[in-house]
Amino acid sequence: MLVIGGGAAALAAALEAAAAGARVRLLDAAPPPLLGGNTRHSRNFRYAHDAPNRYTPDAYPAAQFRADLLRASGGGADPRLLDTLVAQSRELPDWLLAQGVALQRPAQGPLPYSRRTAFFLGGGMAAVRALADRALALGVALMPGCRADALVRSGGCATAAQTAAGAMGAGAFVLACGGAHADPIRLARHWGQAAAGFINRGTPHVRGELLDWLLAAGAVAAGDRAGLYLVAVDARSPAADGGIVTRIRGMPLGIVVDCAGRRRHDEGADTASTRYARWGQRLAAYPAQTGWLVLDAAGLRAAPAALYPPIQAPSIAALAAATGVDAPGLAATVAAYNASIQPPADPLATADWCTVGLVPPKSAHARPIAEPPFAAYPMRPGVTFAHHGVAVDTRTRVAWADGGSVHNVFAAGMIMAANLIPQGYLSGLAVSISLVFGRIAGREAARAAGRAGGGAR
C-alpha cells in the first residue's frame, strides 16, 4: 500500500499498516531534511484522560474535550468523527511511547500549563524523527522528495499514484498530505490578490494536488473553501516554514494601525492566546494585508520577545517615515488615542486603563504612547492551515458524491480535519486528529490492500 504525506498522519498510517503486515511505501513531497509536514512545527497534542498522569498535570474528561471542540468549531464538528477522535485520543500517549516517541514531563523544564495536552520532548521534530525511525525498523520504504500529483483509477479502485518517479501501483492508498494552503495560486482562487500578502507559516510542500484530484473525481468536500486559520506574524518572516517564532504577540500593549495610520480594532479586548488568530484574520482585510503594531518604549519593554527587532524611531513622525505609514494619519491616531485615555482609580492596575469616547475603543491596557523611542512591528497574516478538505467516515474512507465510487482511498490528517474544525482551532488538535485518523487509515488501508492483493504478506 502507498501512504502519501510525511507528517504525523502519514507516519501513523504507515506504522499501523506495517504492524498489520502490509508492505508500505511512504511518499513525501518534501526533501529528506523537511520530512514531517507541519508536525515539524508542532509541540503538543490534545487527548482525553480521566486523571493526572506523568505527562499532564490534571484530568481532561472526554465530555469536556467534546464540548471544547464543539464550541471552537461553532458546532460544526461532525459528531461521529468527534466521538472517534475523543475516544481514540486516549490511546495516544501510550501508543507514541511504544513507537519510541519521548514525551516531556512538566518537571523537566517549564511547560506552559496545560491539562489538555501532552508535549513531545524536543518538539514535533523529535517526534517525526522517532516515528520515521520506527517506520524504517518496521520495513516501511520512506521515499522523501517524491511528489504525487494524482491517482489512477480503474473502475471502483485506485490502482496507482502518478508521481515524479513515474506511476506507483498499490492495493490501497492513504492520502495524508495535508490541505492546499501552501499554494498561492490555490489561495488566490478564494482570496484574490490578498493571497499574495499572506505568509505561509508551515511547509511549502502542502500544495493540494491530491485534494484537487479527489474533489475533481467526485469526492465530497468538507469545510469552508475560503477558510484559513490565520495568525498575525512579522511581515519580514520567510515566505514559508517560519513556524512558531514569527508570531507577533504584543498587541494589547500598543495600538495596531493600517498603512493610513488608522486603528481598526480594539487591541485590549483579547489578551488570551486567541488573539493571535483574531489578528491574523483581521490583517487579511487590511490594505496590502499589512498592519503595524505601534509601541512606545514602555510598551516595548513589556512586550514578549520577537524574532526580528522592531523598527524604532525617536518620534512618531520619524516612525511613520521609517515604516511608510501615513505620517499625518499616524500622528492624529496617536494624539486621539492618548487624549482619550482614562486612567483607573488604581493606576498600577495596568489592565484597567481604557479609552473613553474613542472609536474603536481600547478597552484594556490603554497606556499612553508617549515614551520615546517609538517602535513598530510590521505584521501580516500567517497561514497555518485551511478549513477545507475532503469528507470521510469514521473509518477514514473518502466520501463520494455517488455513494462510494473509489473504495480503496483513505484520507487522514489535515486533508480531512475540516470535518472536525470547519472553523476555529484548539491547541494541540491538529496532531491529535492526524495521529488518531492516521492510525485508523493505516489499519483500514492495510486491510483493503490485503483484500486487493489476495491476503497480506
Partner 1 sequence: MNAPAARVIDPAAAADGAETRRQLGICNICNYCNGLCAVFSAAERRHRLTPGDLDHLANLCHHCRSCLYDCQYAPPHAFAVNLPRALARQRWHSYARYAWPRALAGSFAGHGRRAGLLAVAVVLAFTLAVVLTVPAPTLFAAHAGPGAFYAVVPLSVMTAGAVLSLGFALFAIAVGVRRFWRTTAPAPRIAGPGRGAGGGALARAALDLLTLKHQSGGGPGCADLDHRPSRRRRRFHHALFYGFLLCLGATTVAALRHHMLGQPAPYPLLSAPVLLGTAGGIGMVVGCIGLLWLRRREDPAPTHPPSRGADVALTWLLLAVAATGLALLALRGTSAMGLLLAVHLGTVLALFVLLPYTKMVHGAYRAAALLRDAVERAGR
Question: Could you tell me which stretch among 32-40, 76-84, 257-265, 361-369 binds partner 1 (CB under 8 A)?
Answer: 32-40
**Per rule CB under 8 A, is residue 260 in the interface with partner 1?**
no
Give how far the C-alpha of residue 84 lies from the chain's centroid of Cα atoms, to the nearest Å: 21
Residue 423, all three cell numbers: 472553523
Q: Closer to partner 1 at the Cβ: 122 or 372?
A: 122
Q: Closer to partner 1 at the Cβ: 3 or 103?
A: 103
251 in Cβ contact with 301 (< 8 Å): no
Instruction: Give me the least distance between CB of 383 and partner 1, in Å please.
Output: 17
Give me the 127-156 binding string for partner 1, x by CB under 8 A, dash otherwise. Answer: --x---x-----------------------
Residue 191, all three cell numbers: 482570496
Nearest to 104 by CA among 131, 273, 96: 96
* Residue labelled with grid coordinates 486603563: 353
Q: Closer to partner 1 at the Cβ: 62 or 121?
A: 121
Single-letter code of the amino acid located at 6: G
**Per rule CB under 8 A, is residue 105 in the interface with partner 1?**
yes
For the chain, helix (H) and strand (E) counts, in that order, are: 12, 19
19 in Cβ contact with 138 (< 8 Å): yes
Site for partner 1 (CB under 8 A): which residue of 50, 74, 108, 328? 108
Instruction: Give me the least distance between CB of 140 and partner 1, in Å please.
Output: 16
Question: Could you tell me which stretch among 238-246, 369-377, 389-397, 427-435 binds partner 1 (CB under 8 A)?
Answer: 238-246
Site for partner 1 (CB under 8 A): which residue of 37, 243, 268, 382? 243
**Per rule CB under 8 A, is residue 109 in the interface with partner 1?**
yes
Single-letter code of the amino acid located at 344: P
Start-to-end C-alpha separation, the chain: 11
Q: Closer to partner 1 at the Cβ: 125 or 331?
A: 125
Site for partner 1 (CB under 8 A): which residue of 67, 98, 102, 332? 102
The neighbouring-strand residues paired with 167 are 162
**Per rule CB under 8 A, is residue 226 in the interface with partner 1?**
no
Identify the sign of the CA torsion 197, 202, 204, 209: negative
Instruction: Give me the least distance between CB of 139 and partner 1, in Å please.
Output: 17
Output the CA–CA distances (angstroms, integers) from residue 108 to 105, 120, 130, 347, 431, in the order listed.
Answer: 5, 12, 20, 38, 22
- Residues 40 to 79 in contact with partner 1, rule: CB under 8 A: 40-41, 43
Site for partner 1 (CB under 8 A): which residue of 51, 216, 272, 305? 305
Instruction: State the Cα torsion 255-257-263-269 to the nearest 10°.
Output: -40
Q: Closer to partner 1 at the Cβ: 126 or 138?
A: 126
Peptide linkage before 378 cis (omega within 30 of 0): no
Per-residue b or e along 419-429, where b marks 16 or more CB atoms closer than 10 Å to that residue's CB: bbbbbbbbbbb
**Per rule CB under 8 A, is residue 238 in the interface with partner 1?**
yes
Site for partner 1 (CB under 8 A): which residue of 12, 306, 369, 441? 306
Residues in contact with partner 1 by the rule CB under 8 A: 33-34, 40-41, 43, 102, 104-105, 108-111, 119-126, 129, 133, 238, 241, 243-245, 304-307
